[in-house]
Amino acid sequence: MSLRTVVPIPPALSVRYGHSSAGRAWLASLPDLVQGRLEHWELAVDLAPGALPWHGHGGVVVPVLRTDGTPAALKIAFPHDEARVERHALALWGGYGAVRLLESDAGTCAMLLERLDGGCSLQGVPLDEAAGIWGGLVRQLSLVPDTRPQWQEFNHVAALAEQWSDDLPAEWEQQGRPFPRWLLEAALEVCQTRGAVGRRSGHDVLVHTDFHFLNILARLQGGFAAIDPQPMIGEAEFAVAPLLWNRLDDLSRADPAAGLRQRCT
């Protein structure tokens, strides 16, 4: 019998998922899930004594070593739709522009991933340089659909646009009409157009829909890779929004709109 490895649960995850019965059940099962994957994939925990594993909004990431000493990362996510399809996107990318998937287990939402430098994201890179790296990665990630079965697992941006067409007016009212009506109507026009036309688009690619600077980490061998893709099928431009609404403090106070336009070029 192998010695059980105790991996502490980050307090932030306990706070986030402790408010629902499903979340509490997942938190209670997490030590066994981690132990099961450590044993099945023959991994050794690579944490300093007393150190906490990494975590994101939706899961825990444990630094590990494979039997040959190669550093890797064991990620176990709270089961939800985005987590269930993440492995399919990473498999399609094959490490090209995104973190490399080494192993996965659908039943536990567990993945063994290439180890990245969790302390070095694109958030800390000067904005002009970061935007260029971001653009290069978008081009790498924008795969055109093919016959591989993973493509059947993703939702389409057009369906999301149709949903927003239904939801935005009510949400605008509930939030106390936080912006002018003309802006709401412009957004609805875009959603309605993309919902109808997007399904017939000849420009569909695989889209990382949460592609902000903190979701781009440095590779140990150099360069950067995307993580946490929340993948969908649609136009590549759909990935631009997170680039615009992050690092707003870096924009010029004199002309912030010009700074946003510059990020898009």
pLDDT in tens, 186-227: 999 988 887 666 555 678 999 999 999 999 999 999 999 999
Residue 264 has pLDDT above 80, yes or no: no
Q: What is the mean pLDDT of residues 30-48?
A: 95
| CA 34/CA 18 separation, integer angstroms | 18
Tokens of 225: 């890779």
Query: Which of 53, 245, 231 has its CA nearest to residue 153?
Result: 231
| Per-residue pLDDT reduced to its tens digit, 50-78 | 889 998 888 999 999 999 999 999 999 99
Percent of the chain at pLDDT above 90?
68
| Per-residue pLDDT reduced to its tens digit, 93-126 | 999 999 999 999 999 999 999 999 989 999 989 8
CA-derived radius of gyration, the chain: 20
Q: Hey, is 32 helix, strand or coil?
A: helix
* 19, 38, 84, 93, 254 from 112: Cα distances, Å: 28, 10, 14, 15, 46
Catalytic residue among 32, 166, 167, 210: 210
Listed in order, the ranges of the chain carrying CATH 3.30.200.20 are 11-115
Q: What is the mean pLDDT of residues 124-133?
A: 89
Listed in order, the ranges of the chain carrying CATH 3.90.1200 are 121-264
| CA 26/CA 23 separation, integer angstroms | 5
pLDDT at residue 246 in the model: 78
Q: Please give the sequence-ordered ranges of beta strands (E in DSSP) within 78-146, or none if there are none.
A: 101-105, 110-114, 116-121
pLDDT at residue 1 in the model: 39
More confident residue, 46 or 127: 46
Judge whether 12 and 61 are in contact, CB under 8 Å. Answer: no
pTM: 0.88
Percent of the chain at pLDDT above 70?
94
* 47, 82, 91, 118 from 34: Cα distances, Å: 14, 20, 22, 19
Q: What is the mean pLDDT of residues 172-181?
A: 96
The CATH code for residues 121-264 is 3.90.1200
Query: Which of 103, 56, 72 has its CA nearest to residue 210?
Result: 56
Residue 166 has pLDDT above 60, yes or no: yes
Known catalytic membership, residue 46: no
Average pLDDT, the chain: 90
* 31, 34, 74, 171, 197 from 231: Cα distances, Å: 28, 25, 20, 25, 20
pLDDT at residue 59 in the model: 92
Tokens of 19: 């408010």
More confident residue, 127 or 104: 104
Specify the DSSP class assigned to residue 18.
Answer: T
Query: Which of 95, 37, 33 has its CA nearest to residue 229?
Result: 95
pLDDT at residue 239 in the model: 92
Of 13-22, 58-67, 239-248, the poorest mean pLDDT is in 239-248
pLDDT at residue 197 in the model: 60
The CATH code for residues 11-115 is 3.30.200.20
